[in-house]
């Protein structure tokens, strides 16, 4: 059944900017601060990963030290291993995320180990997080296709999602990393995962490569999924998934939810301004259709 309220997890400063060569620490801080003024309550602000692998996310400790923390907003970060977790904890993150994959080849390219090795590497992170009282989110990448292996079986997605949930992740974000999924396949995948992980613990993370993200969200909302990841201005891509375009744009998601009468707490006008600012900084049009429509009209009217 369609939820009455949706939690939006804003991943623009991380999943969006991790792919941008020109972005500075100041730009990243400005984006996080603009987003925290929109009513968004969960912002993935950065990653504590190797700067050799993803230089765009370097200096995450500086980012967390310099953002203006707003009460009621959870600031999260990716932590692939214990080293990343320790740095994230020292920086004062509110929660962390580990990230695995439903595809062996993608796991190797993204985090340089097999799926099983990645799960073993997350165990000490879970232990340390529990000791520190920090919640851990788990990602599964390539849930609807892999850039290297092609089709991915829903049963494999369910297996990895269950493993993350069983080790203590409170929420499992199912990522269509390369944005190839369509609505029926997304529903079948979510149904397979929901047979092993409670639906209330599932989040969806669509990239919009083929323009299907919003259709996939709508189909999965009907199943009762109530947590959706998105990125302001449709920022994004993945350094290890060639051809993956941006995430579902938060502005487009908000417009859909407004039309459905589903609560989310985000001010669309403030969001459009935040997206326009970072798009201008990156020297490209805002990737959110809703932002372009509203900006063209001169005012950002609510749907």
Instruction: Give catalytic residues, as residue numbers.
Output: 238
Task: Look at the block and give the residue holding tokens 């850039």.
Answer: 147
Residue identified by tokens 């994959």 is 101
Binding flag, residue 176, Mg ion (CB under 5 A)? no
Tell me the chain's radius of gyration from C-alpha atoms: 18
What is the spatial distance between Cα 12 and Cα 279, in angstroms, rounded to a whole number? 11
Is 160 a binding residue for ligand HMG by CB under 6 A? The answer is: no
Judged by CB under 6 A, which of 8, 40, 54, 91 binds ligand HMG?
A: 54
| Closest C-alpha among 170, 180, 270, 220 to residue 6 | 220
Query: Contact at 8 Å (CB) between 172 and 193?
Result: yes
Site for ligand HMG (CB under 6 A): which residue of 107, 110, 227, 286? 110
Using CB distances below 5 to 8 A depending on partner kind, what does residue 122 bind out of ligand HMG, Mg ion, none? none
> With CB under 6 A, what is the number of residues at the site for ligand HMG?
26
Residue 138 interacting entry, from ligand HMG, Mg ion, none, C-beta within 5 to 8 Å by type? none
15 part of the interface to Mg ion, by CB under 5 A: yes
Q: Which of 64, 75, 122, 139 is close enough to bind ligand HMG by CB under 6 A?
A: 139
Residue 14 Cβ vs Mg ion, minimum distance, rounded to whole Å: 9
Bridge partners of 252, per DSSP, are: none
103 binds ligand HMG (CB under 6 A): no
Smaller CB distance to ligand HMG: residue 27 or 61?
Answer: 61
The site partner of 48 among ligand HMG, Mg ion, none (C-beta below 5 to 8 Å per kind) is ligand HMG
Which residue number places its CB atom closest to ligand HMG? 175
Q: Which does 216 bind (CB under 5 to 8 A by kind): Mg ion, ligand HMG, none?
A: none
Query: Could you say which DSSP state residue 201 is in?
Result: G
C-beta of residue 212 within 8 angstroms of C-beta of residue 241? no
Determine if 243 is a binding residue for ligand HMG (CB under 6 A).
Answer: no
Alpha helix segments (H runs only) across 78-181: 82-91, 104-111, 115-132, 154-166
The answer to whether residue 252 forms part of the interface with Mg ion (CB under 5 A) is no
Determine the Cα–Cα distance for residues 161 and 102; give it in Å rounded to an integer.
Answer: 9
Interacting residue with ligand HMG among 36, 38, 107, 141 (CB under 6 A)? 141
Distance of CA 227 to the CA centre of its chain: 11
Interior angle at CA 40, CA 173 and CA 133, nearest 5? 60
Contact 42, 73 (CB under 8 A): yes
| Residue 18: contacted member of ligand HMG, Mg ion, none (CB under 5 to 8 Å, by partner type) | ligand HMG
Among 111, 129, 235, 288, binds ligand HMG (CB under 6 A): 111
Q: Are 278 and 19 in contact (CB under 8 A)?
A: no
**CA–CA separation, 13 and 28 (whole Å):** 6
Is 107 an interacting residue with respect to ligand HMG (CB under 6 A)?
no
Yes or no: say if 154 and 122 are a contact pair by the CB < 8 Å rule: no
> Which of the choices Mg ion, ligand HMG, none does residue 49 contact, using the CB cut-off of 5 to 8 A by kind?
ligand HMG
Would you tell me which residues interact with ligand HMG (CB under 6 A)?
Answer: 15, 18, 47-50, 52-54, 78, 80-81, 83-84, 99, 110-112, 139, 141, 175, 177, 205, 238-240
């Amino acid at each position: 059944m369609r939820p009455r309220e949706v939690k939006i997890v804003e991943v623009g400063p991380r999943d969006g900017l991790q792919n941008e060569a020109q972005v500075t620490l100041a730009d990243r801080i400005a984006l996080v601060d603009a987003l925290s003024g929109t009513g968004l309550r969960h912002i993935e602000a950065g990653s504590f990963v190797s700067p050799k692998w993803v230089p765009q996310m370097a200096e995450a400790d500086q980012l967390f030290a310099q953002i203006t923390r707003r009460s009621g907003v959870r600031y999260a970060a990716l932590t692939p291993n214990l080293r990343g977790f320790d740095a994230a904890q020292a920086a004062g993150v509110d929660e962390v995320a580990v990230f695995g994959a439903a595809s062996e080849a993608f796991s190797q390219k993204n985090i340089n180990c097999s799926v099983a090795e990645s799960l073993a590497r997350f165990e000490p992170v879970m232990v340390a997080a529990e000791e520190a009282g920090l919640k851990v989110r788990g990602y599964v990448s390539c849930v609807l296709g892999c850039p290297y292996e092609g089709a991915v079986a829903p049963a494999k997605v369910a297996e990895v999602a269950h493993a993350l949930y069983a080790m203590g992740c409170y929420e499992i974000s199912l990522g269509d990393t390369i944005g190839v999924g369509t609505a029926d396949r997304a529903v079948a995948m979510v149904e397979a995962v929901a047979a092993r992980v409670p639906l209330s613990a599932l989040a969806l993370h669509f990239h919009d490569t083929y323009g299907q993200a919003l259709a996939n969200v709508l189909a999965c909302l009907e199943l009762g999924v109530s947590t959706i990841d998105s990125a302001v201005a449709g920022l994004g891509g993945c350094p290890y998934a060639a051809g993956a375009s941006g995430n579902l744009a938060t502005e487009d998601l908000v417009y859909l939810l407004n039309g459905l009468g589903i609560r989310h707490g985000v001010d669309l006008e403030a969001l459009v301004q935040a997206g326009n600012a970072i798009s201008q900084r990156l020297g490209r049009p805002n990737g959110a259709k809703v932002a372009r429509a509203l900006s063209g009209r001169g005012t950002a009217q609510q749907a």
